[in-house]
């Protein structure tokens, strides 16, 4: 929708700009195309300028102790516009399983930088921040936007900082500031394996806070970079299972990690089998 609106506004403005210019039709068409391109660039520039302006008060060196709904709303607005511009259509399954009476920890598989963006849009009605790698905070505009929301910076090369990050997330949960999103794989999966080994330490988030654990999978985000602006991309976000405190209170972090990985792996393998069967059917129909 964002892409369509952007094009319509650009073409409309270009039409007005060329209508009163006394030129031959051929030159008017050339000028119209030129103005349309310029208008698209200006609209994108104004979009970025808006976020630069609202980020002026943000101090990235200041420790954030509380969740900020205003900047979360701004992130949702910007993210939704970008995902629409990329031609992404998100299918959500199992949203009704998420508890409305408690904040929670949500875990997901990690194949793309777009994963948290998709989840953020799908769960925009919930107070949610992510534990994110430190490099994300260095991205222009994005870094200064997620910082005041309460996103938690994680440095895997600094064990002390890693412990402090988990501790901060646990405090957010215990104080009912917000819910926490984390990828148990710890980094993006660039391999052909369905899942990378899990970092069991992240499950201290639930053993310490006793909050519900939402197990999810996300598929299709890794394909978006192919034909980024010229193809419709279908993303599937599934809430598979909710583990309440009674379900995991007698388990340690490694046991919880194995349980969660088993649930995710089962779903993702079923998706692979379904895709392979669909491809085989497609090949058979072509051959016939």
Contacts of residue 253, Cβ cutoff 8 Å, sequence gap at least 6 = 200, 201, 203, 204, 207
Is the separation of the CB atoms in 107 and 260 below 8 Å? yes
Percent of the chain at pLDDT > 70 equals 88
Identify the bridge partners of residue 215 per DSSP, sorted by sequence position. 107, 241
pLDDT of residue 162: 87
Residue 174: which of 229, 211, 143, 219 has the closest Cα? 211
CA distances from residue 287 to 111, 278, 280, 281 in whole angstroms, order as listed: 33, 14, 11, 10
Identify the bridge partners of residue 57 per DSSP, sorted by sequence position. none
The stretch 105-131 carries a mean pLDDT of 94
For tokens 């649930």, the residue is 263
Global pTM value: 0.84
pLDDT at 227 over 90: no
pLDDT of residue 284: 33
CA distances from residue 120 to 156, 181, 274 in whole angstroms, order as listed: 23, 9, 27
pLDDT at 185 over 80: yes
Span 126-177, pLDDT tens digits: 999 999 988 889 888 999 999 999 999 998 888 888 889 999 999 999 999 9
In order of start, what are the domains of the chain with their CATH numbers? 2-54 (no CATH), 69-273 (3.40.1130.10)
Span 35-93, pLDDT tens digits: 778 878 888 888 899 999 999 999 988 999 999 999 999 999 999 988 888 888 899 99
The stretch 15-34 carries a mean pLDDT of 75
DSSP state at residue 191: S
Is the separation of the CB atoms in 236 and 201 below 8 Å? no
The stretch 184-199 carries a mean pLDDT of 92
Residue 182: which of 143, 156, 144, 220 has the closest Cα? 156
CA dihedral 172, 174, 180, 186 (to 10 degrees): 90
């Amino acid at each position: 929708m964002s892409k369509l609106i952007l094009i319509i506004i650009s073409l409309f403005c270009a039409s007005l700009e060329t209508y009163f210019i006394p030129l031959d039709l051929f030159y008017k068409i050339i000028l119209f195309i030129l103005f349309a391109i310029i208008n698209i660039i200006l609209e994108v520039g104004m979009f970025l300028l808006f976020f630069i302006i609202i980020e002026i008060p943000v101090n990235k060196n200041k420790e954030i102790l509380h969740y900020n709904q205003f900047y979360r709303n701004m992130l949702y607005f910007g993210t939704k516009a970008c995902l629409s511009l990329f031609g992404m259509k998100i299918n959500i399954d199992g949203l009704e399983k998420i508890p409305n009476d408690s904040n929670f920890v949500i875990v997901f598989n990690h194949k793309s930088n777009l994963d948290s963006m998709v989840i953020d849009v799908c769960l925009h009605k919930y107070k949610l921040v992510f534990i994110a790698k430190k490099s994300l905070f260095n991205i222009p505009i994005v870094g200064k936007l997620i910082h005041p929301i309460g996103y938690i910076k994680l440095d895997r090369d600094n064990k002390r900082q890693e412990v402090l990050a988990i501790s901060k997330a646990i405090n957010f949960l215990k104080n009912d500031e917000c819910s926490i999103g984390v990828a148990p794989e710890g980094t993006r999966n660039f391999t052909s394996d369905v899942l990378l080994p899990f970092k069991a330490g992240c499950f201290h988030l639930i053993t310490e806070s006793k909050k519900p654990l939402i197990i999810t999978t996300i598929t299709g985000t890794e394909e978006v970079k192919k034909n980024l602006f010229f193809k419709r991309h279908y993303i599937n976000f599934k809430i598979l299972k909710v583990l309440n405190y009674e379900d995991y209170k007698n388990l340690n972090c490694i046991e919880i990690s194995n349980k969660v990985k088993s649930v995710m792996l089962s779903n993702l393998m079923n998706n692979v089998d379904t895709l392979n069967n669909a491809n085989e059917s497609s090949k058979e129909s072509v051959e016939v």
